[in-house]
Amino acid sequence: MSKNFTKKTYQNCQDASPKFTAKKNFFSYDLETIEERPNFSSVTLAPSPNFTSHFSKLDFSDIQPPLKHFGRSTTKPSLVTKNLEIRPTTWKVQNDQLETFPNNFYLEKSSRFIHDSDACTIAARICDCLRSRSIHATFDEKKAQAKCKTSDFVFFHINLFAVKGDCIIVEVQRRKGCSITFNREYKAILEAAEGKSLLEWEKMPFHDNIPVMEIQSLEGNCIKVDTEDVIENDHKRTDSLIYSDRLEEKILGLNSLCCLTDPCKSSNQAAALISRKLIHNPKQIQKCVESIAFHASENLFVDSERDRDVFLQMHSLVLSILSNILSTAWKENFLAESIYSREQWFIDSLLPFLMEDIKCAKDRPNEAYLAARCLSTLVSNSFAAQSRVLEYQEILLDAKNVGFIAHSHLENELISLTSILQTC
């Protein structure tokens, strides 16, 4: 870089290159689009004694934000959002509440500049997207920030910033959790913030659309079904992990058991075999799962946020396992018999435990949805469960209202449960 580098020269470079942002005497690229772009190179014709001394004198106050998206778009074609049912917005933000984007702040690539929309409209679009994707969120209107958590415990923040030229920045920042899940979610949120919606086939992840056993290789061969011996060995390894004294191993064991009991992630044969053993052998794995469930529920209100998240994850995994077991047992036609032979445990122990989760739907909607799934299966296969659930209609109505506002999966499941109760 030559000694004659001036503000005018910098502005000329600005017109032909991505926007520069000052950050502690060095600069970095802030791209409005998510796609990667090659770094620009320069040739030094004369030595520069001190680069930072020239760069620090530049005035960035008059630099305007990028106008519209430029270059190729990395997102697939989108459809304009249709008029949806009007729902109350839980995140109310005004333009004058937004903080100005600071010069020394590094902007995440998972962000977007949005024009011709005010903060209130953008926040309402994001809220509707979070509700439709069943992502639990808590909102801070003063900071214009939303703290979000998916059903598989991916945590991220959504921040709104104001910049010059009637432009608003929406930034989605991952805090912890699976990066693949985050990549899918943040793209949907940014599309919704612009007033667009994803195509139908983009709304669900690949593994939710196609069961593992139906996936074919390049040669057209499907995955071979495991034998009973292999399934038994997998079950024993999972059993040893669940009984471990280490918390991490318990979580790994619960994750493995959750996958084994899910026909889409294992096989129908494996899910049916393990579900049958878990229901008909309460003195073995069932007691361990039950103890973890109640133990985790007692520790949901500990002081440490990290410990609370760990116990809540265990609690959620147990509910997922119970939901998978009950659903598989219903499909294999042995659930009604199991409930009848062990009615005291199902009606007097399991059902009140599930209702406690539904009662906390406002704070834990993901767990309330899993509990409602278990409850729907029980009600469909037991007259005793139907009569007991009718005593909790007020709790179900409150949870349904929570789902209407913030969690579509919870709302749909409770609508289904209500229809089952009405036909009884």
* Nearest partner of 140 among 152, 164, 123, judged by Cα: 123
Quote the distance between the C-alpha of residue 317 and its chain's center. Answer: 15
Cβ contacts of 70 within 8 Å, gap of 6 or more: 32, 33
Average pLDDT over residues 269-284: 80
- Assigned CATH for 79-202: 3.30.310.80
Per residue in 138-168, pLDDT (tens digit) is 999 889 999 999 998 999 999 999 887 778 9
Average pLDDT over residues 12-40: 42
Q: What are the residue ranges spanned by the domains of the chain?
A: 7-55, 79-202, 259-422
Higher pLDDT, 186 or 75: 186
Per residue in 298-337, pLDDT (tens digit) is 555 555 677 778 888 888 998 999 999 999 999 999 898 8
pLDDT attached to residue 293: 58
Considering the chain, what percentage of its residues have pLDDT values greater than 70?
66
* Nearest partner of 23 among 71, 70, 48, 58, judged by Cα: 58
Q: Quickly count: other Cβ atoms within 10 Å of residue 45's Cβ.
A: 7
- Cα(303)–Cα(258) distance, integer angstroms: 28
- Cα(322)–Cα(333) distance, integer angstroms: 16
Average pLDDT over residues 66-90: 43
Higher pLDDT, 12 or 96: 96
- Cα(178)–Cα(34) distance, integer angstroms: 19
Contact 152, 178 (CB under 8 A): yes
Average pLDDT, the chain: 75
* Nearest partner of 378 among 316, 331, 330, 332, judged by Cα: 330
Contact 370, 320 (CB under 8 A): yes
Tell the burial category of 292 from Cβ atoms under 10 Å away from its Cβ (0-12, 13-18, 19+): buried
Contact 192, 125 (CB under 8 A): yes
Q: Is the pLDDT of residue 58 over 80?
A: no
* Nearest partner of 403 among 368, 379, 371, 376, judged by Cα: 368
- Cα(83)–Cα(371) distance, integer angstroms: 31
- Cα(116)–Cα(114) distance, integer angstroms: 7
Considering the chain, what percentage of its residues have pLDDT values greater than 90?
33
Q: What pLDDT band is residue 361 in, cutting at 50, 70 and 90?
A: very high
- Cα(14)–Cα(126) distance, integer angstroms: 32
Q: Is the pLDDT of residue 86 over 80?
A: no
Dihedral angle over CA of 66, 118, 145, 29, nearest 10: 0
* Nearest partner of 20 among 71, 66, 89, 51, judged by Cα: 66
Q: What pLDDT band is residue 338 in, cutting at 50, 70 and 90?
A: confident
Q: Is the pLDDT of residue 20 over 50?
A: no
